[in-house]
Structure 1
Amino acid sequence: MKAFTLTMRSMLERAEMLFPNKEIVSRTAAQIFRYTYTDFAKRTRRLSSSLQALGVQRGDRVATFAWNDHRHLEAYFGIPCMGAVLHTVNIRLPDDHIAFILNHAEDRFLLFDETLLPIIERIQHKLTTIEGFILMTDKETLPPSSLEPLYSYEQLITDGNPSFEYPIDLDENSPAGMCYTSATTGNPKGVIYTHRGIYLHSLCIGLADTLGLSERDAVMPIVPMFHVNAWGLPFAAVWFGSKQVLPGPAPTPELLLNLIAEEQVTIAAGVPTVWTAALKVMEQKPFDLSKVRALVCGGSAAPRSIIEAFEYKYGIPFYHAYGLTETSPLVTVAKVKSYQEDLPKDELLDLRSTQGLLVPGLEMKIVGQNGEVAWDGQEMGELLLRGPWIADEYYKDERTNDFFQDGWFNTGDIAVINSEGYLKLVDRSKDLVKSGGEWISSVDLENHLMAHPAIFEACVVGIPHEKWAERPLAFVVLKDPVNHPVSKDEIVHFLSQNFAKWWIPDDVVFLTEIPKTSVGKFLKRQLREQYQEHYSPVAE
């Protein structure tokens, strides 16, 4: 059989040919914009031809700094299909990290939303490789700006060729995209995605036992398109001809819920903090979410209480998934096997609150102190992965040697696995609390805390302790501290019903908000640094 090259060109062409009238709904800063896959494909080709006219060649990096909208989606295909590399940049990073990322990737052009213009103007003097700035805006004229040269995205689309032909001789192993992941220390690390990796990862998203994405779906990626390619959903949705709903700049929980209802969204994906905030709004106001067949949660462990609320209070299927920037990201999905469907509610929730089953196409092993761990749900080890959409190095970064060894990616996640193959993350290796020589899972404590009816968010970190080396410290945000206050003693008692005494945090700190990373994960490093003296004798 003659080899067929797995590139993104064929994904775009399939949507263009078979689903010309399917709709893409995009919220921008000024409007709700609707168009079809026919129009999308023409604008995407126009973008590619205009970038080529500006001098973009195969292998060149072109950066995007944008929200989830139709222009960003056009860049998702227009840049890699011409042979260049789509570099999505996290808009929520500090200025110095944004400048580092753009320079380290050696991006030649930067496409960005008008709402983000002040950030780019602030850092322009630090950028060493950018040859031109392309403003994505609904306005007909460019605003005054110090950026030079500054191009209008819409003018480039107007000037471009709607029949631009994509090369058919691209190497499927050539870079199609890249994204940077935050490091515990030092600068962010770059990850390359190949055409082949994106192609196969998108195919996996369509499998019935993963997310089952199809032409019948209306897909809304809430997870940002600048974060691990919105978990690959835009790529797969175009290929399969799914309706897409792109929520645009700074969406609120109520706006997201309204879009889901009004556009009859069937599948939406976001991090736990998104779904926690959505539940809070849903308690106050009804929304018609009857078309939803799947809410997907990833990025960090979903509290059992969130899963229970969506599944049993609102009757909405809620799927826990797991992955990382280095894994494109899909690794596992927590779906119940056919013969487990009649299990008692508590056992079903136990399964759904794990990270789930390894998706087809990947291989894993969990390695502890004595080799691979037993499948008993108890023995801990570090999760290692390999497969066609798993990265094999960091881009021009010596830290590659720390994470990629003998063909395996060392995730840094500590996990257990049960006899049925359900993976459960115990913690990040750096977040496990080691107290008196014994390990304590901050994730288990957090999930249980967030099951308390009065608690909105909870985070647990290990703090230095003179006697025990480390002790857990809990940080709690209450839903309504005025009308429904909760004391430290009540929280300790709540935990003591499910955990051994030595697992219970020695103290509880009440906050108005838990600091978060740029993609909504708890910023534990900041809390550890801020409260590192909390258990010191002087502090006590």
Structure 2
Amino acid sequence: MIPGLMQTAPLLISGVLTYAAQAHGSREVVSRRIDEPLWRSDYAGLARRAAQAAHALRRLGIKPGDRVTSLAWNTHRHLELFYAAPGIGAVLHTANPRLSDEQIVYTINHAESAVLFFERNFAALVERLAPQLTTVKTFVMLSDAERTEGDAASYETLIAGEPETIDWPVFDENAGAFLCYTSGTTGDPKGVLYSHRAVVLHAMAGGLNSAFGFTAFDVAMPCSSLYHATAWGVPFSAPLCGAKLVLPADKMDGASLHELIQTEGVTFTGGVPTIWTMYLDWLEKTGHQPDSLKKVVIGGSAVPRAMAEAFKRRHGVQVLQIWGMTETCPIGVVATPTPALAALGEEAMDEAIWTRQGRLQFGIELRVETDDGQEAPWDGETSGALLVRGPWVVQRYFCKDQDAARPDGWFDTGDIATLDANGFMRITDRQKDVIKSGGEWISSIDLENVAAGCPGVKVAAVVGVPHPKWEERPLLVIEAHDGADVSKAAVLDYLAPRIVKWWTPDDVVFAAVPLTATGKIDKKVLREAWRGHLGGA
């Protein structure tokens, strides 16, 4: 082997910001804020304020490798921290405010953060948690001096007067940059420590046509939370491609999202299905159209076909599924079209796009493994455990080097999936959610997707409930739209021609469907709440 003779400049997050400020400096960054007017700036302005924040962090004593925590929404100040903290070699822990108090305290203490940045509307939460935060020395409210409350420092006061330029340090690209914790549905949340190299490679891949396909003419509005796996990398992919960035803060209701889409010309957005259920319902009730919107990427859980059809048929918006995990930074696959699918015709292409989580992306390897440890054929039929590996996939958790992946790099996602000849992956269930009835498997995801198309259904959730004869049987939990007249009989009549008979749920119940901290259906809570419903326990 002969060494290459090319330069070896490290891939650092500061490089993304420097490039955006130079190549797309006047491209806008627009942000809602908490109880403050809309913020308008650009990538050059983002670079100036991130430099100020970086100087302020150093003044607070933050050194390379130190952790700082944010409890924040999708705002420009949070975005500034996305570049400031990693830029000086520190690690930004993006705490998830939707976790329980106990879990939030656990993650901040486990990260050993010295500084906590938080939004104004988290003041009561922080006051409640502060006595339990053993390592935090400085509390900073992400607000101006006038609106800052209590004993916290004001973010605007903190960075005021600091230099607007900085010589970003150069260091090993494998250094930690972001610390994201899993939602912790079983046991304590696990820390996933993203490296600069992983984040930059992920950002470059995210902008490709096989993924989000950003151009400098796009206007991107991430509705996936900045605290959840860095909002699918959009805060880095968009600047790399010169796309305008619109940040909605915590205003995810239909009217608020539509206002930004219309006034800012949003062409791209993405988030979990629950957001788009509410938005589509709002559009239906008001008769409005999202004029500029071209593409919605949906992840977190499977996209109901009815949702994809509503966006396309009624509003002319393309829906793409995405699959990933905190452990994959998070892009794993994206359901973008290919010439091979287009050749099958529009209807067949839509079927492939809407019923599969996505296709193989450069940088990610996929493997479906059968029970005997062998690789399943890529036939679209043979299912097994889904394994992934690649440069932005976790190797070890941030917990005394607890292994996450196998020695050969393969990480078991916990999903059951198939792969087809075109490289499209389809999740058939989570390993813990698949329903075994009379020795046969029932896909809870497939049942949910069909049930979600029933008129009046807002959210459909299926869990396996213990049964004295069949081991498990499916129970369908429906959360209906407000004011909708939907009954058990109507739901079962809707399902009958669309599923095999033995998949028919043994009962349909109507209740609020609990969600996890990342907006997914909380199957653990549902199973516990309804475990004795069919007489099996």
TM range (shorter): over 0.9
What aligned pairs does 1:243-392 form with structure 2 within 5 A after superposition?
243-353=244-354, 354-370=356-372, 371-392=374-395
Q: Which amino acid aligns with 1:473?
A: L
Higher mean C-alpha displacement, 193-202 vs 130-139: 130-139
Q: Deviations over 1:144-171 (max 9, x none)?
A: 34xxxx3211011103221222112x10
What aligned pairs does 1:421-432 form with structure 2 within 5 A after superposition?
421-432=423-434
Indicate yes or no: 2:38 matched with 1:32: yes
Q: Which amino acid aligns with 1:47?
A: A
Measured after TM superposition, the shift of residue 286 of structure 1 is: 3.6
Measured after TM superposition, the shift of residue 253 of structure 1 is: 1.8
> Unmatched 5+ residue regions in structure 1?
none
For residue 68 of structure 2, give the secondary structure of its aligned residue in structure 1: strand
Indicate yes or no: 2:116 matched with 1:110: yes
Indicate yes or no: 2:73 matched with 1:47: no
For residue 236 of structure 2, give the secondary structure of its aligned residue in structure 1: helix
For residue 349 of structure 1, give the secondary structure of its aligned residue in structure 2: helix
Measured after TM superposition, the shift of residue 2 of structure 1 is: 2.2
1:78 to 79, 84, 93: 84
- Aligned partners of 2:451 and 2:495 also within 8 Å: yes
For residue 93 of structure 2, give the secondary structure of its aligned residue in structure 1: strand
For residue 317 of structure 2, give the secondary structure of its aligned residue in structure 1: coil
For 1:342 and 1:290, the matched residues in 2 are separated by: 29
- Aligned partners of 1:189 and 1:397 also within 8 Å: no
Q: Deviations over 1:112-159 (max 9, x none)?
A: 1111011011011111111111111134363234xxxx3211011103
Q: Deviations over 1:390-421 (max 9, x none)?
A: 111111157x4465442111100110122322
For 1:184 and 1:537, the matched residues in 2 are separated by: 24
For residue 517 of structure 2, give the secondary structure of its aligned residue in structure 1: coil
- Aligned partners of 1:382 and 1:415 also within 8 Å: yes
For 1:313 and 1:345, the matched residues in 2 are separated by: 16
Higher mean C-alpha displacement, 283-292 vs 73-82: 283-292
* Partner residue in 2 for 1:158: 160
Measured after TM superposition, the shift of residue 376 of structure 1 is: 2.3
For residue 415 of structure 1, give the secondary structure of its aligned residue in structure 2: strand
Q: Deviations over 1:75-117 (max 9, x none)?
A: 0000001110111000111111000000001111111111101
2:453 to 448, 451, 461: 451
* Partner residue in 2 for 1:506: 506
Q: Which amino acid aligns with 2:313?
A: Y
Q: Deviations over 1:343-397 (max 9, x none)?
A: 3554223211211101111111000123111222222101111111111111115
Q: Deviations over 1:19-49 (max 9, x none)?
A: 2211111101221111122221111101101
What aligned pairs does 1:187-266 form with structure 2 within 5 A after superposition?
187-266=188-267
For 1:306 and 1:142, the matched residues in 2 are separated by: 41
Q: Deviations over 1:227-263 (max 9, x none)?
A: 1101110112223332111001243121011111110
Higher mean C-alpha displacement, 457-466 vs 241-250: 241-250
- Aligned partners of 1:180 and 1:190 also within 8 Å: yes
For 1:144 and 1:267, the matched residues in 2 are separated by: 38
Identity of aligned residues (%): 40
For 2:410 and 2:59, the matched residues in 1 are separated by: 41
Q: Which amino acid aligns with 2:100?
A: P
For residue 160 of structure 2, give the secondary structure of its aligned residue in structure 1: helix
TM-score with structure 2 length normalisation?
Answer: 0.95
For 1:40 and 1:402, the matched residues in 2 are separated by: 35
For 2:234 and 2:384, the matched residues in 1 are separated by: 30
TM-score with structure 1 length normalisation?
Answer: 0.95
For residue 46 of structure 1, give the secondary structure of its aligned residue in structure 2: helix
Q: Which amino acid aligns with 2:375?
A: E
Q: Deviations over 1:153-195 (max 9, x none)?
A: 1011103221222112x10001011100023321100001000
